[in-house]
Amino acid sequence: MNRWLFLWRKWTRQLWVKATAYAGVGVAAALLAAALAPWVPDDMAERLGGESVESILTILASSLLGVATFSVGAMVTAYTSVSTAASPRVAALVTSDDETQKALATFVGAFLYAIVSVTAINAHYYGQNGRAILFLVSLAMVGLVAFRLLAWINRLSSLARVGHTIDLVEARALKALETRRDAPFFGGREGRLTTGAEIVAASTGYVQNVDPSRLQTMAEARDCQVEIVAPPGAFVRRGAVLARVSLAACDEEAQADFRSAFALGDSRSFDQDPRFGLIVLGEIAAKALSPGVNDPGTAIQVIGTGVRLLDVWVQPPEDDGPRPPRCDRLLGPAVTAEDLLEDLFGPIARYGAGDLAVAMRLQKGLAALAATPRLAEPVAVLAQAAVERSRAALPIEADIRRLEAVALAR
């Protein structure tokens, strides 16, 4: 992903950004009413420019602060509930939820609009024509607040549900899987450089994004090839190798140029890291299978979600066909099927070995994936290991025979 696009998405997913933007629009709407006053017909101004607008604004100002406070409290409650019931890694999806951010931003923006408008009215900032404009804007604001409030109430009914959380993670993981499937080597080629200068990290953290276009541009400018050593999701310390270039040496300027294509952070990101979404789904299933929760149904739901995601992963792109790499100077690592299967189904096989329903559902899910030649061998290895774990964990011989029957049918 382009580094500027990545930074823009990361920035705009923060709650305060959208709230600030809506607040700015609300204040601008309140102050621009006076500027639009000359275009208001006199008969409209006489009809709409009375005292009723101040009553509407007072109601908005007095109620929206409480609504915004309640909404923030509800979001914090959902955030805490999701962190406890599912996984702390998915809590960020709650705060970055688009509907949640729009609702909170609308309430804050409308509240500031009402406060600024009432203050301006008391300061005699508007004439009769300006108050008419303010009346129309206030009606539109009331409609927007009502719509957002209803949408927010609907969102609250599902925000903290584990099933909804699984859907959120599935959607983000699906985008990352499709992106990597269509460009398995970041738009370049598979391969490694045996020799060359190393581009090292300037800080410690997780690789959140790699900009292949930036690496391609830098490689063209220096007439070399670049190998991505640390893909998104890798944890690197200061001085660790991020990339390798086919040059004898790199000066500080070249180091900085190549390093700028890598974005590092304190945690992993869903955007370019297909394994992270599957790891989080595995964590949700593991939490559900813990003795304190004991919710095998959630683990079974995760198995179904994982089968859908990996089925998309093995499908060829819609425009499949021979084509040259987009970044011909770039060498990238591949994501293996073994890693994806272990990330998702490994925790379920370990913690669900003693639950017959989960173990049988896992075998059936793996059987569905085994029909794909690309996954047949790693699926067989994982399925056999899961059966061995269940043989040791299931106390009743009849349950073991039922599970073996399902596994043999595969």
Please state the three-class secondary structure of 30-82 as a single string.
HHHCCCCHHHCCHHHHHHHCCCHHHHHHHHHHHHHHHHHHHHHHHHHHHHHHH
Torsion of CA 85, 175, 316, 327, to 10 degrees: -140
Q: Report whether 181 contacts 334 (CB < 8 A).
A: no
The answer on pLDDT for 124 being more than 80 is no
Alpha-carbon distance of 247 to 332, in angstroms, equals 17
Tens digits of residue pLDDT in 80-91: 777 777 778 887
Structural domain boundaries in the chain:
3-160, 187-265, 274-321+334-409
Q: What mean pLDDT comes out for the span 143-169?
A: 84
DSSP tag of 288: H
Alpha-carbon distance of 240 to 262, in angstroms, equals 13
Alpha-carbon distance of 143 to 149, in angstroms, equals 10
- Sole residue written with tokens 């500031």: 112
Alpha-carbon distance of 269 to 403, in angstroms, equals 37
Tens digits of residue pLDDT in 51-88: 677 788 888 888 888 888 888 887 778 777 777 777 78
Residues 6+ apart with CB under 8 A from 256: none
Q: Which helix (H) or strand (E) holds 398?
A: helix 397-409
CA dist list (Å): 206 to 1, 201, 328, 370, 393: 16, 11, 26, 33, 36
Tokens of 356: 């017959």
Alpha-carbon distance of 345 to 382, in angstroms, equals 8
Q: How many CB atoms lie within 10 A of CB 300?
A: 22
- Under the banding of pLDDT at 50, 70 and 90, the label for residue 48 is low
Tens digits of residue pLDDT in 366-404: 999 988 888 889 999 999 999 999 888 888 888 888 888
Q: Which CATH number fits domain 187-265: 3.40.1190.20, 1.10.150.240, 3.40.50.450, 3.90.1170.30?
A: 3.90.1170.30
- Under the banding of pLDDT at 50, 70 and 90, the label for residue 306 is very high
Note the helical H segments in 315-355.
Answer: 337-351
- Under the banding of pLDDT at 50, 70 and 90, the label for residue 318 is low
For residue 50, the model assigns a pLDDT of 63
Beta bridge partner(s), residue 207: 264
Q: Report whether 214 contacts 327 (CB < 8 A).
A: no
* Nearest by Cα to 266 from 230, 228, 235: 235
Tokens of 153: 């109430």
Q: Report whether 264 contacts 207 (CB < 8 A).
A: yes
- Under the banding of pLDDT at 50, 70 and 90, the label for residue 47 is low
Residues 6+ apart with CB under 8 A from 8: none
The answer on pLDDT for 309 being more than 90 is yes
pTM: predicted TM-score of the whole model, two decimal places: 0.81
Q: Report whether 202 contacts 238 (CB < 8 A).
A: yes
Alpha-carbon distance of 107 to 69, in angstroms, equals 9
Q: Report whether 134 contacts 128 (CB < 8 A).
A: no
Alpha-carbon distance of 370 to 307, in angstroms, equals 11
- Sole residue written with tokens 């990330």: 343
For residue 149, the model assigns a pLDDT of 86
Tokens of 2: 């382009």
The answer on pLDDT for 319 being more than 60 is no
Tens digits of residue pLDDT in 197-233: 888 998 999 999 998 888 888 888 888 889 999 999 9
Alpha-carbon distance of 112 to 333, in angstroms, equals 50
Note the helical H segments in 160-295.
Answer: 162-182, 212-222, 252-259, 274-288
